[in-house]
């Protein structure tokens, strides 16, 4: 009887030991499985993060390229605009110089100067009337070639209407714009008679 009980106790102990070992093995296996799953999750997260970083880096690179291209184009446009503005400025300067030269020459070889010379020359006093008539005829022919009311054309630009009277000589030979240019260039003599200009009065022809 005692022998049977001893055997039973030994078997129970073995069974308990075996069960404990099984539980330990199951626990270890479960822990390893969890660790494996954690590693897989971490690897997946790392791969996702790396992919996102690559996408962001690619997007940043494209954005930088677009910005660089835009800045390059903008600078090119600025350079083109600056070049055009410089050309316009040069054209304006040439135009102003041409106007000044035209103003100093007078109309077509300075008809006004011829009139002034005729009036002031002692040698021409006796024949003044025929010469003045000749110059007046030249004036008429010159202006009639260009169209209607050429007698009102500014002697400087030959396009705008004479609209400024110089005093005290009372000559009306330039438009408002050319008068401003004339004054800005420091010219103080009437282009018609070369007399000093003391006052500039804006006027208009009566519209016919």
For residue 177, give its domain range. 93-202
Whether residue 123 lies inside any domain: the answer is: yes
Q: Is residue 128 part of a domain?
A: yes
Domain CATH code at residue 137: 3.30.40.10
More confident residue, 149 or 61: 61
Does residue 180 form part of some domain? yes
Query: At residue 154, what are phi and psi to the nearest 5 degrees?
Result: -60, 135
Q: Is residue 170 part of a domain?
A: yes
Backbone angles phi, psi at 199, to 5 degrees: -150, 140
β-pairing, 171-174 with 164-167?
antiparallel
> What span, in angstroms and rounded, lies between the C-alpha atoms of 187 and 165?
15
111, part of any domain: yes
Position 168 scores a pLDDT of: 92
Q: How many domains does the chain have?
A: 1
| Inside any domain, residue 153 | yes
State the pLDDT at residue 167. Answer: 92
**Which residue, 153, 154, 193, is CA-closest to 170?**
193
Is 187 a domain residue? yes
User: What are the tens digits of pLDDT across the range 16-62?
Assistant: 777 788 888 888 888 988 888 888 888 888 888 888 888 988 888 88
pLDDT of residue 203: 85
Whether residue 182 lies inside any domain: the answer is: yes
Greatest CA span in the chain, whole angstroms?
179
């Amino acid at each position: 009887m005692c022998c049977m009980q001893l055997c039973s106790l030994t078997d129970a102990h073995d069974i308990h030991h075996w069960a404990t070992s099984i539980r330990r093995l199951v626990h270890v296996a479960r822990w390893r499985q969890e660790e494996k799953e954690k590693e897989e999750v971490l690897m997946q997260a790392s791969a996702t993060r790396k992919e996102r970083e690559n996408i962001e880096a690619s997007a940043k690179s494209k954005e930088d390229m677009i910005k660089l291209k835009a800045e390059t184009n903008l600078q090119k446009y600025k350079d083109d605009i600056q070049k055009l503005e410089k050309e316009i400025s040069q054209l304006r300067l040439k135009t102003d110089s041409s106007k000044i030269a035209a103003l100093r020459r007078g109309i077509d070889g300075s008809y006004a100067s011829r009139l002034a010379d005729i009036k002031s020359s002692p040698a021409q006093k006796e024949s003044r009337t025929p010469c003045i008539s000749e110059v007046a005829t030249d004036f008429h022919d010159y202006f009639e070639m260009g169209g209607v009311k050429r007698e009102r054309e500014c002697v400087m630009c030959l396009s705008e209407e004479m609209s400024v009277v110089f005093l005290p000589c009372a000559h009306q030979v330039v438009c408002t714009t050319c008068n401003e240019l004339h004054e800005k260039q420091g010219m103080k003599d009437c282009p018609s008679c070369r007399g000093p200009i003391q006052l500039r009065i804006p006027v208009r022809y009566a519209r016919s």
